[in-house]
Each structure stands twice: as structure tokens, then as C-alpha cells.
A and B are shown apart, each in its own frame.
Chain A
Amino acid sequence: GENVEQHPSTLSVQEGDSAVIKCTYSDSASNYFPWYKQELGKRPQLIIDIRSNVGEKKDQRIAVTLNKTAKHFSLHITETQPEDSAVYFCAARGNTPLVFGKGTRLSVIA
């Protein structure tokens, strides 16, 4: 089945800097790659997703890139703000249900 590896597990950045979280997946049939943000005590919420026919997608300060050949995808957050502090999860899905990475705890220091 699918296996998703996520790095780093924790990340601290200064407010205004960029943050990058990287994920790799194992199943070449995977074709949908969402990213979820989870604040403390809350449910995971979708922030951006990308499908396998697209290499990059942007939404304001957030962007995702996908390299199908290398089986990795990344989340980029620019101009980080304190409210970006949360746990971020990548996930992958193809012929199997959604499989999540173990998460990255992002701390934005003011």
C-alpha cells in the first residue's frame, strides 16, 4: 500500500520568513495530494491540494509543487505569520484511501 514520509517533524521560522515542508510517497498510482492544517484541539482542514496532472499550484501565500518522477511534493508558505503556527499534514491517494504523513509542527516566531 501507499506510504507517505513527511519532513521535518518540527520547524521554527521567524515571522516573515518562508517555510517548506516536504513529503515523499511510494505508490506511483497516487494522483491526488492534499495538505491539511490542524490547529490545537481542532479538526484537520484542507488548505490546498494538487492533482498529478499539475506541477505547481498557488493560493496567495501558499504553494504546492509536485514531482511525479521523484514521487515527492512540497508545501511552501511565504511571508509567514503567527497564525500559520499549526501542525501540517500531507497526504496521498490513488487506488487506496487517503494516507497521511506524520505531520510537521510549524512554529512562527514573532
Chain B
Amino acid sequence: NAGVTQTPKFQVLKTGQSMTLQCAQDMNHEYMSWYRQDPGMGLRLIHYSVGAGITDQGEVPNGYNVSRSTTEDFPLRLLSAAPSQTSVYFCASSLMGGYSGNTIYFGEGSWLTVV
């Protein structure tokens, strides 16, 4: 049981490049989400999904795309990287759509630098 697995852990991108951050969970969680963490800003929600085929925007969705073709996977795509997207990205998951009192589990994080 690996929990929530994110790859890559570290990535450097040039402005304008695209890339995908991978997230997978093996706990059969319906709810998955992506947060970004910036100094002094806490954890801000980018996109989330309450089940396969369903996604929705969070607080800071611009510049990011997601899809949820399976229960296990929830990749985050940066379409055209900008320096403002330099951040630490966390994938998280939980049972039952994320709206009840179920523990949210975080992946180890992905450190992204855009130059």
C-alpha cells in the first residue's frame, strides 16, 4: 500500500514548456485534488475531482488542466509554464468525495521551478 504517489519530485522547466505532474493513489479514494504551496500563502486548491470522469476548478486553476479517466490517477498538466508557476505541488486524496470528515492524505510533493 503506497498511499499517494507523485512524480517527478523535482523538475526544472523553461518558460513556455509544458509538462504533466503525475499522481496515483492505491486506496480506492473517490476524491483527489491538487494544491500548490507558496511561501506565506498556505495550500491553495488548483483542481479537484470527486470521481472518475468528474473534475472541477479550485481557487487557482488558471494555467492548469486535469483529467480523471480512472479512480487511481489524477494528472496535472501545465500547458505553457510561467515563472509564476514555480511552486511546490501536492496531490491529495480521501474517501467519499472530500466533503465529509474523511482524512485527506497528501503525496510527498513535487518541487517545480520555471526559469
Contacts and interface: CB of A to CB of B under 8 A. Distances in A.
Interface of A: 1, 6, 9, 31-32, 34, 42-46, 49, 51, 89, 93-103
B100 A101 contact: no
A49 B48 CA distance: 21
B80 to A, nearest CB: 26
Interface of B: 33, 35, 40-45, 48, 58-59, 90, 98-101, 103-104, 106-109
Contact of A94 (B41, B45, B99, B104): B99
Which 9 A-B pairs have CB atoms at the shortest separation, nearest pair first? A102-B42, A32-B101, A43-B106, A100-B43, A100-B42, A51-B101, A97-B48, A103-B42, A44-B106
A86 B58 CA distance: 26
